[in-house]
Amino acid sequence: MTQQRVIVGLSGGVDSAVAALRLLEQGYAVEALFMKNWDEDDQTDHCPAEQDLADADAVAQQLGIKLHRISFSTEYWDRVFAYFLEEYRAGRTPNPDVMCNKEIKFRAFLDYALSLGADFIATGHYARIERDANGAHLCKGKDLEKDQSYFLHLLDQSQLQRALFPLGELRKTEVRRIAEQAGFVNHAKKDSTGICFIGERKFSDFLAQYLPAQPGEIISTEGEVLGTHQGLMFHTQGQRQGLGIGGRAGDTGEPWYVVDKDLIGNRLIIAQGNEHPTLFHPALTAEQVHWIDPITPELPLRCQAKIRYRQPDQPCTVSATTNGNIQVDFDSPQRAITPGQAVVFYQGDHCLGGATITHANQD
């Protein structure tokens, strides 16, 4: 019987290294691919691709598997970074990880792997795929603290049918233990955090390189001018840090939070207190709805939803609106609903799909 051929995305991190090891143990013919997705002169400081490549190469050599290398930086710029900038330009807060999975890891990488004759691609994501006669179903990883199905909700059947997630049944602590026992050079390597192309830089400094600053007023929910912002793009709903308004006479001493943006007036609206009512909304509207399974759920739909990664599942009802969008009504008001972010739907461990939040609703 011919072995099924898998190309695993080997990033230089511990997760993808253990994913490759598990695939070998499961009897697949395994090769690896190191993807470079960002070109920049000072990349070594902000996105340490050279060290990641060295770690990926060391793991591949130890496992005795071929390591392919390719740059998807053009595809990344066109399909992910351009979207990232356009969303910030529109005053929204995008999630580039979601788009990177859709367009790079499960499109550009998948297309390249298939051109090399692969049957599947694999990644170190903490998620699972269940297959039956009705298709491939995306499910949460067993380690709910690390579950990454939220970031994978835009995948479709053609992508899921060709994907493997070898870590879906494991906890992160087990992955670390397996890597150490295997003697991988990166067994204790820290998990990557943040967005690779920003790295350790201050976010506002990075964004200002691409989008011009547009200073405007910071106002309270009552309309009082409290300060000046350097650009609405530098702020997001629920943000506490970086407002720069300091203490005020008669101030209660409680922190201030971003509660809204006036895009037309270029004003940042803030409120005082962690439980201020303007931070909470019972519903939202979302667009660009994507359902994963071949059979589209009937609306209205009772399910659970997340409006941010690692948020506990929130019971809700999803209904269609007259313009092809959806409204999500939560059983309990949600804090800091953020336009541009994803709302992702679940029934138990089963990820149904998701949509992009356009605005919060009061009812």
Read off the DSSP letter of residue 194: S
Q: Percent of the chain at pLDDT above 70?
A: 94
Comparing CA positions, the residue from 118, 82, 89 lying closest to residue 103 is: 82
Query: Residue-wise over 321-335: b if at least 16 C-beta within 10 A, else e?
Result: eeeeebbbebeeebb
| 241, part of any domain | yes
Question: What CATH number does the domain containing 320 carry?
Answer: 2.40.30.10
Tell me whether residue 50 is in a domain: yes
Residue 8 sits at φ, ψ, to 5 deg, of -100, 135
Distance CA 256, CA 271 (A): 5
For residue 213, tell me if it sits in a domain: no
C-alpha pair distances (Å), 284 with each of 164, 193, 350: 33, 28, 22
Q: Check residues 198 and 244 and name the one with the higher pLDDT.
A: 244
Confidence (pLDDT) at 43:
47
Examine residue 196 and state whether it is found in any structural domain, yes or no: no
* Residues designated catalytic: 100, 196
As a whole number, the mean pLDDT across the chain is 93
Mutual angle of helices 49-63 and 14-25, in 10-degree steps: 20
Tens digits of residue pLDDT in 220-245: 999 999 999 999 999 999 999 888 88
Assess whether 61 and 95 both reside in one domain: yes
Contacts of 23 (CB under 8 A, 6+ apart): 6, 8, 30, 122, 164, 166
Residues 234 and 89 reside in one and the same domain: no
Is 121 in the same domain as 231?
no
Show which of 274, 303, 335 is a domain's final residue.
274
- The predicted pLDDT at position 47 comes to 56
Look at residue 97 and tell me whether its pLDDT is greater than 80: yes
Phi and psi torsions of 257, nearest 5° = -130, 150
Q: How far apart are the first and last CA of the chain?
A: 59
Instruction: Determine, yes or no, domain membership for 176.
Output: yes
Output the pLDDT for position 248: 61
Question: Do 265 and 238 belong to one domain?
Answer: yes
Q: Which pLDDT value is given to residue 41?
A: 53
- Are 253 and 310 found together in one domain? no
User: Is 147 found in the same domain as 268?
Assistant: no
Boundary residue ending a domain (251, 274, 297): 274
pLDDT tens column, 315-356: 999 999 988 899 999 999 999 999 999 999 999 999 999 999
173 within domain boundaries: yes
Q: Match 């809204």 to its residue by tokens.
A: 260
The CA distances from residue 234 to 197, 205, 310, in Å, are 17, 10, 23
CATH label of the domain that carries residue 256? 2.30.30.280
Q: What is the CATH number of the domain that holds 152?
A: 3.40.50.620
pLDDT at 321: 95
Considering the domain architecture, whether residues 30 and 176 belong to the same structural domain is answered as yes
- Residues 254, 338, single domain; the answer is no
**243 and 133 together in one domain:** no
Both 11 and 154 in one domain: the answer is: yes
In a domain, 53, yes or no: yes
Examine the fold and report which residue of 155, 182, 209 is the final residue of a domain before the chain moves on: 182
DSSP string for residues in 121-138: EE---SEEEEEETTEEEE
| Residues 13 and 58 both lie in one domain | yes
| Rounded CA separation 77/86 (Å) | 12
Tell me, yes or no, whether 195 lies in a domain: no
| pLDDT recorded at residue 205 | 85
Q: What is the pLDDT of residues 31-56, one digit of tens each?
A: 999 999 987 654 445 557 888 999 99
Residue 317 CB burial class (10 angstroms; 0-12, 13-18, ≥19)? middle
pLDDT of residue 247: 61
Domain that holds residue 262: 221-274
Say what the pLDDT of residue 45 is.
52
Q: Please state, in angstroms and rounded to a whole number, the distance separating the CA atoms of residues 260 and 280.
A: 11
pLDDT value of position 242? 83
User: How many domains does the chain divide into?
Assistant: 3
Task: State whether 266 and 332 are in the same domain.
Answer: no
Residue 194 has a pLDDT of: 65
Task: Tell me the per-residue pLDDT of 294-313, one tens digit each, with 9 for 90 and over.
Answer: 999 999 999 999 999 999 99
Going by the DSSP 8-state scheme, the letter that residue 223 receives in this structure is: -
Mean pLDDT of 153-177: 98
